[in-house]
C-alpha cells in the first residue's frame, strides 16, 4: 500500500504524533542543557557533548532538533526566561500595598538569581540577529505588572494623566526594571556579594518606590497606603458602596 492509499486522517495522526515526539525530544535537550548549566559557574563554556550525555543521546540527534548551536542556545534562553516568569507570577498579584508588591517582585527575582547565577548569566548573553531578547521579554513582563499597579492607583485617585505622562510611562517603568536587572547582575558578579541579599532587595525595591512616589508627588498626587486589591475593588461598579 502506498502513501496515496492511506486515509488523510491517518496521515494527519501520524504527522501529529511525529511532531509531538519531536517536541518532547527538544524539551529533553533543553532541560538537559539547563541541568548542565546549573552545575557550572557563570562564564564557563557549555559543551554540546555534555548536553548530549545529560540527555542520553548523541550530538547528531541534538542537531536534528536544532539548526545549530545558536538555535539551541536561544531555546535554552527562552526556557530560562519562561521559568523566571513562572517564578515571578505569584509576586505580580495585587495583594498588598504598591510598595509591598514591588518589594515582593524584586525579592522574588533576586532570590531566583542568587539561586541560579549561571542561568541568569546565560539568559543575559547577547545572541545578536535573533530578534527580541528573551530576557528583554522577561523585563517587559515585570514592567507591565508594575505599570498595571500604577494604572490602578492613578484610576483610584481619579486623576487623568497628561498625554506625555501616559506615553512616557512604558519606557520609564521598563527602564527602572532594566536597571534592577543590571544591578542584580553586578551584585552577582562581585567576589563577595555585599550587601547581603535582604539588604539588596530592600535597597533596590526602595529605589523603585522612591522614583514612583517622587514622580507622583511632583504631580500633586499622594499615593494611598492601601492594598491594590482594595483600590481595584473600589473601581468596580458599586465597589465603594
How far is it, in rounded angstroms, from Cα 114 to Cα 109? 9
3-12, 24-33, 137-146, 168-177: range with lowest mean pLDDT: 3-12
Whole-angstrom Cα distance, residue 86 to residue 84? Answer: 5
* Higher per-residue pLDDT: 170 or 116: 116
Q: Which residue has the higher pLDDT, 30 or 140?
A: 30
CA distances, 241 to each of 7, 192, 228, 235, 237 (Å): 63, 54, 18, 11, 9
Q: Which is higher by pLDDT, 143 or 10?
A: 143
* Higher per-residue confidence, 224 vs 75: 75
CA distances (Å), 182 to each of 35, 65, 226, in order?
A: 24, 33, 30
For residue 80, pLDDT beyond 90? yes
- What is the predicted pLDDT for the residue at 239? 55
Average pLDDT value for residue range 6-32: 76
Q: What is the rounded CA–CA span in Å between residue 188 and residue 20? A: 38
Amino acid at each position: 500500500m502506498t502513501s496515496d492509499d492511506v486515509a488523510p486522517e491517518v496521515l494527519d495522526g501520524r504527522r501529529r504524533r511525529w511532531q509531538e515526539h519531536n517536541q518532547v525530544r527538544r524539551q529533553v535537550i533543553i532541560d538537559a542543557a539547563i541541568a548542565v548549566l546549573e552545575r557550572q559557574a557563570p562564564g564557563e563554556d557549555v559543551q554540546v557533548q555534555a548536553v548530549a550525555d545529560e540527555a542520553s543521546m548523541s550530538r547528531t540527534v541534538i542537531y536534528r532538533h536544532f539548526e545549530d548551536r545558536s538555535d539551541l542556545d536561544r531555546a535554552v534562553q527562552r526556557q530560562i526566561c519562561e521559568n523566571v516568569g513562572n517564578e515571578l507570577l505569584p509576586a505580580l498579584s495585587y495583594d498588598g500595598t504598591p510598595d509591598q508588591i514591588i518589594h515582593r517582585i524584586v525579592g522574588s527575582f533576586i532570590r531566583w538569581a542568587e539561586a541560579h547565577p549561571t542561568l541568569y548569566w546565560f539568559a543575559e548573553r547577547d545572541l545578536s540577529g535573533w530578534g527580541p531578547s528573551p530576557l528583554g521579554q522577561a523585563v517587559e513582563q515585570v514592567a507591565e505588572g508594575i505599570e498595571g499597579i500604577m494604572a490602578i492607583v492613578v484610576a483610584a485617585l481619579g486623576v487623568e494623566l497628561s498625554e506625555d505622562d501616559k506615553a512616557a510611562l512604558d519606557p520609564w517603568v521598563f527602564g527602572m526594571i532594566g536597571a534592577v536587572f543590571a544591578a542584580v547582575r553586578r551584585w552577582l558578579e562581585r567576589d563577595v556579594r555585599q550587601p547581603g541579599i535582604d539588604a539588596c532587595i530592600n535597597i533596590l525595591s526602595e529605589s523603585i518606590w522612591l522614583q514612583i512616589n517622587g514622580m507622583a508627588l511632583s504631580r500633586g498626587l499622594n499615593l494611598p497606603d492601601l492594598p491594590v486589591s482594595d483600590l481595584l475593588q473600589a473601581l468596580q461598579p458599586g465597589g465603594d458602596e
